[in-house]
Amino acid sequence: DIAQKLLAAYIDGSLNSVPSFLDDPSDHPLANEEELSDNIKLLADIGRFDYRQAAELLIGAHRALAGQYRRLLEAGNASSSASNGGGGMVSLNAGLPDLRIVEDKLTWLTYVISALVGGRVPYQSTEDEDKLDGDLISHIFQTIALLQERARQIGVQHLDCFQCAILFIFRQFRTTYISDQSYGVPKAFGQLQANLGLDGKTQVMEAMVQTIIRALEMFPAGSPVIVSAVTTLNEFTLGYTSLRLMAKLDAAQSLLANHASPSFGFLRSLTRPKDQLVYYNALTKLLCMDDIIDDHFAGFVAPFNVLLDDITRVDNATFAQDPSIKL
């Protein structure tokens, strides 16, 4: 009982503090994922005292906020249609304070849910706890559609923390349920199928990889979302179980075939080469799977061949004066 009161107090305190950070984003705790991750690790231990109560508390809070967020988005769409005759983007200021508050609250809850899911020990888990995790993750997947609707309305402004939280919980879920340390087919996947129609590990991971790819396309170079997205992609290729499963995904095959797509703006940025390095580190591991490399190698290196051909045609003097290549 004390543990649940502590968890409820933490959640209430975190959610109630959200409005105070809107005017001073420089001190926003959601902007520092590493520090936030350290702070919420204790919640996994607290929640483990009565996992069902903890999960049901989070599900109830998340359901209420997601419903509020959906209604605000629908009101924004209705306002847009009424003001411009049915189309176009909502004004950036339309419903912004309320939406920002609810977004940040959902972001907090996503990180708290991550703490519970990521703090689980697979071989010590019960089937009941696995089912609860499946329900928790189902609610996260349902908010992805809301985030995409919000981005359609106003673009990706202010959505960095929300998207990073979703990618963060993907990493926690993968570590717990799709890794070399996970056993069998946990009941979490049965709940995901019942709630969302995602049939097994393959479809769940397909949905997660599709979300990663959309994030890489939607957010600009330098955004913390790009860092989180390439980190998540790379973590999905760690371990034989996860890598072998990922190699079978349609989304992963498409990414290998279109890895240099113009829609990935971060690949043309000169300010964050590490993001490109992590991205290609993940793709190279996928490419080198035995049943992939023969079919995809030529297509994978084709964009690099084009780039090298272009370089060979550049006059040396002109090339030397290009500020983008100077140290």
User: Out of 18-27, 100-109, 147-156, which region has the weakest mean confidence (pLDDT)?
Assistant: 18-27
State the pLDDT at residue 175.
92
The C-alpha angle with vertex 73 and arms to 68 and 78, in degrees rounded to 5, equals: 125
Q: What is the pLDDT of residues 85-105, one digit of tens each?
A: 555 444 434 445 688 899 999
Q: Please, are residues 158 and 223 in contact by the beta-carbon 8 Å criterion?
A: no
* Angstrom distances, CA of residue 154 to CA of 41, 73, 129, 135, 245: 33, 11, 38, 30, 35
The C-alpha angle with vertex 296 and arms to 293 and 300, in degrees rounded to 5, equals: 110
Q: What is the pLDDT of residues 191-237, one digit of tens each?
A: 999 999 999 999 999 999 999 999 999 999 999 999 999 999 999 99
What dihedral do alpha carbons 177, 178, 181, 185 form, nearest 10°? 60
Task: Return d(Cα 173, Cα 155) in angstroms, integer.
Answer: 28
Is 156 strand, coil or helix? coil
